[in-house]
Amino acid sequence: MLNSTSQDLASLADFVRAHPRLQVLTGAGVSTGSGIPDYRDGEGAWKRRPPVSHQDFMAEPAVRRRYWARSLLGWPQIAAARPNPAHRALAALDAAGRVSQLVTQNVDGLHQRAGSPRVLELHGSIHAVTCMDCGAAHARAGVQADLAAANPRFATLRGAPAPDGDADLEADSYADFTIPACKVCGGLLKPDVVFFGDGVPRPRLDLAWEALAQSDALLVVGSSLMVYSGYRFCLKAAELGQPIVAVNLGRTRADALFTLKVESACGPALEQLEQLLADLGNSTG
């Protein structure tokens, strides 16, 4: 006998077949299977101290020292993470021509590693660093080497992985932490990610809206949608009269807008969806 999740997955497979151009919006729940922790619990509340804000990062040298010290330990863990079945199933969905645009709130680059083409990284990438003064782009790997060279004491510390390339490190003091400057102009380096309190760049958002307008429906995967930049995709889809379906373990801010919701961890659910679609494809020849 089918349990409710299996029934919902069968309905989702039918839905995907009926809506061949899906915009897919993914969040942290897609990457938890790769060992990258989520910020929020099943009720959408903070599990941990909220992340650094753009304003504090730009204004406070002490905030930047703490950020980079934790990132020095956290980034190698995110760089070593591997795609999980959720990423692979979405790449397969894309390869089957069912995805009009994959939009992710994640900054870990795991969709690209799984083979998804044309990924729109709404909140940027943790693998890139931008100079806030001259705009020069720097590879995070190079900045990592500079951080480690300038801070041998911190480089030997260990911290449990935290979301977005952060690590749980509480040093007694970050006062002696040295942040490398931009090699072009000596300016202030910032990871190429949208921090809290910072807006998604307009051109990036325009691309997402353009793609959504050419889609049949929105599929949300692994996001509580508590951040407005994700939630507004649901508002926009609803405005366009597009149905919205979701795969997420736990409550989301847009539950009331969903035509269908599969309450499950992303990896197992998407693997089953892929199998159901393959079976349906075979049965209809």
Please give the positions annotated as active site: 123
Q: Does 134 bind Zn ion (CB under 5 A)?
A: yes
Instruction: Encode 204-238: b = buried (16+ Cβ within 10 Å), e = exposed.
Output: bbebbeebbeebebbbbbbbbbbbebbbbbbebbe
| Residues from 151 through 190 that contact Zn ion (CB under 5 A) | 182, 184-185, 187
Cβ closest to Zn ion, residue 35 vs residue 135: 135
Stretch of 108-116, 135-143, 190-198, 220-228 lying at the interface with Zn ion (CB under 5 A)? 135-143
| Residues from 29 through 58 that contact Zn ion (CB under 5 A) | none
Task: Determine if residue 140 is left, alpha or beta; phi over 0 gives left, psi from -120 to 50 gives alpha, anything else beta.
Answer: alpha
Tell me the residue length of the chain.
285
Beta strands in 105-209 (DSSP E): 119-121, 124-131, 137-139, 160-162, 166-168, 189-193
From residue 184 to residue 223, the character string flagging contacts with Zn ion as x (rule: CB under 5 A) and all else as - is xx-x------------------------------------
Cβ closest to Zn ion, residue 18 vs residue 134: 134
Task: Identify whether the C-beta of residue 38 lies closer than 8 Å to the C-beta of residue 163.
Answer: yes
Cβ closest to Zn ion, residue 141 vs residue 278: 141
Chain residues that interact with Zn ion, rule: CB under 5 A: 131, 133-134, 136, 182, 184-185, 187
